[in-house]
């Protein structure tokens, strides 16, 4: 059974990985409203946050899969998934999240 500590640990680890790649990225895309994602049948945890980038406004959801890779979902303000990137590694997070800024 998962605990709140495990959920928060995974979410904080993902944020720290993003910050280690580009410490200003989250601020640059206006990231806010962070929420840790609990474990379910498809993920071992994750984080979701709202963004206000140039090309994407809505939410980014980063899920840690059981294969120890990330699934990144870009969700618009109507809560429709507009893009999904599967099997990402931690060193690719900022590169993929730059979709928010139109890169």
Angle at 77 between CA 36 and CA 18, to 5 degrees: 40
Distance CA 76, CA 56 (A): 7
Count Cβ atoms within 10 A of the Cβ of residue 53 and give its class: 0-12 exposed, 13-18 middle, 19 or more buried. buried
What is the pTM (predicted TM-score) of this model? 0.92
Model confidence pLDDT, tens digit, residues 5-19:
899 999 999 999 999
Q: What average pLDDT does this structure show over 43-67?
A: 94
**Structure tokens belonging to residue 15:** 């944020």
Q: Which residues of 27-45 are buried (b: 16+ CB within 10 A; e: fewer)?
A: eebebeeeebbebeeebbb
Instruction: Specify the pLDDT at position 51.
Output: 94
Model confidence pLDDT, tens digit, residues 79-103:
999 999 999 999 999 999 988 777 5
Distance CA 29, CA 101 (A): 7
Model confidence pLDDT, tens digit, residues 57-71:
999 999 999 999 999
Q: Residue 54 — very low, low, confident or very high, per pLDDT cuts 50/70/90? A: confident
Distance CA 98, CA 96 (A): 5
């Amino acid at each position: 059974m998962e605990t709140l500590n495990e959920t928060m640990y995974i979410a904080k680890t993902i944020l720290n990985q993003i910050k280690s790649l580009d410490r200003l990225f989250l601020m640059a895309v206006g990231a806010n409203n962070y929420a840790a994602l609990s474990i379910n049948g498809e993920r071992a945890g994750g984080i979701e946050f709202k963004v206000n980038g140039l090309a994407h406004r809505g939410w980014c959801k980063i899920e840690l899969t059981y294969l120890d890779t990330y699934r990144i979902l870009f969700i618009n303000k109507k809560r429709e998934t507009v893009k999904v990137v599967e099997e990402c590694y931690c060193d690719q997070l900022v590169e993929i999240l730059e979709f928010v800024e139109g890169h």
